[in-house]
Amino acid sequence: MESFGSRLHRATRERGPLCVGIDPHAALLARWGLSDDVAGLERFALTVVEALADRVAVFKPQSAFFERFGSRGIAVLESTIRQSREAGALVLLDVKRGDIGSTMAAYASAYLNPDSSLCADAITVSPYLGVGSLQPAFDMAAEHGGGVFVLALTSNPEGASVQHAVGAGGRTVAQTVIDEISQVNVGAEPLGSLGLVVGATIGATGHDLSKVNGPLLAPGLGAQGGSPADLREIFGDSLRNVLPSYSREVLGAGPDGTALRAAADRAVTACSAVIG
């Protein structure tokens, strides 16, 4: 079984370093001329999949925008995940789960077990209950070739007050998370399957990402103000492992498929120029 790190490495080499978020905001549904209901949600998500699944390395559906329509929204999320994967894109489900280990095991079953209709290639998780509490997700991912992205330095301005806080050992909270994930990825070839989320908006923070040996998801590009040029300062020598992520910037070009493809092509060209 091929690991997630290996599959992601291959996908970004073949298709370029780009993750497109599927974030059906109410404002975007309106802009696309769609109703703010399950039918609009479904048309939005499937339009993105039809336009981009054959060229984008990774889709990142934002679960919140599907959850807001209840069980019928979750059903659309299931079909979005399935159709994206069938069409050749990897799916990183942005759910940001985190809980005590025994509950985390249930989340892992929901999102990383191939028997589940919500199974994705990878998920986002929050380390606020301690990185160790996420172990059931790491184990499930390892068993089934999945991946897990742990929040480290998020793109929102409020994140630093917690993530830059210095603990007893003199390290920041974020550096502790970075170091714990780095340990798990030691020796993985060509890339570990545990990733980190590091926003494209954070500037130089002095955090050491050099030993992560795993993917570094960089949201915050475009709508939140981050640009590909900012990635250099944030990631330094770890730039090669960065997976840049755009949602509204690309989605805003829809609903026309040609315009969506052009927006994704612009994004991947701009990111490739920096990442290589």
Interacting residue ranges for ligand LLZGTKA7, rule: CB under 6 A: 21, 23, 62, 94, 154-155, 197, 199, 219-220, 222-224, 246-249
DSSP character for 61? E
Taking the CB of residue 39, how many other CB atoms lie within 10 A of it? 13
CB of 96 to ligand LLZGTKA7, least distance (A): 7
In three-state secondary structure terms, 39 is helix
**Distance spanning both ends of the chain, measured CA to CA:** 28
Closer Cβ to ligand LLZGTKA7, 94 or 230, answer by number: 94
DSSP character for 221? B
211 is catalytic: no
Closer Cβ to ligand LLZGTKA7, 145 or 222, answer by number: 222
- Measured between alpha carbons, how far is 73 from 78 in angstroms, rounded to an integer? 9
Closer Cβ to ligand LLZGTKA7, 30 or 114, answer by number: 30
CB of 207 to ligand LLZGTKA7, least distance (A): 14
Residue tagged active-site, from 15, 96, 97, 207: 96
Closer Cβ to ligand LLZGTKA7, 3 or 63, answer by number: 63
CB of 23 to ligand LLZGTKA7, least distance (A): 5
Calculated CA dihedral for residues 93, 96, 100, 106, nearest 10 degrees:
-20
Residues in the chain: 276
CB of 229 to ligand LLZGTKA7, least distance (A): 17
Q: Read out DSSP for 190-254?
A: S--SEEEEE-TTS-------TT--S-EEE--BSTTSB-HHHHHHHHGGGGGGEEEEESHHHHTT-
Closer Cβ to ligand LLZGTKA7, 28 or 142, answer by number: 28
- Tokens encoding 191: 């890339």
Those residues with Cβ within 8 angstroms of residue 160's Cβ, 6 or more apart along the chain or in another chain: 153, 202, 205
CB of 76 to ligand LLZGTKA7, least distance (A): 16
Which positions are catalytic? Answer: 96
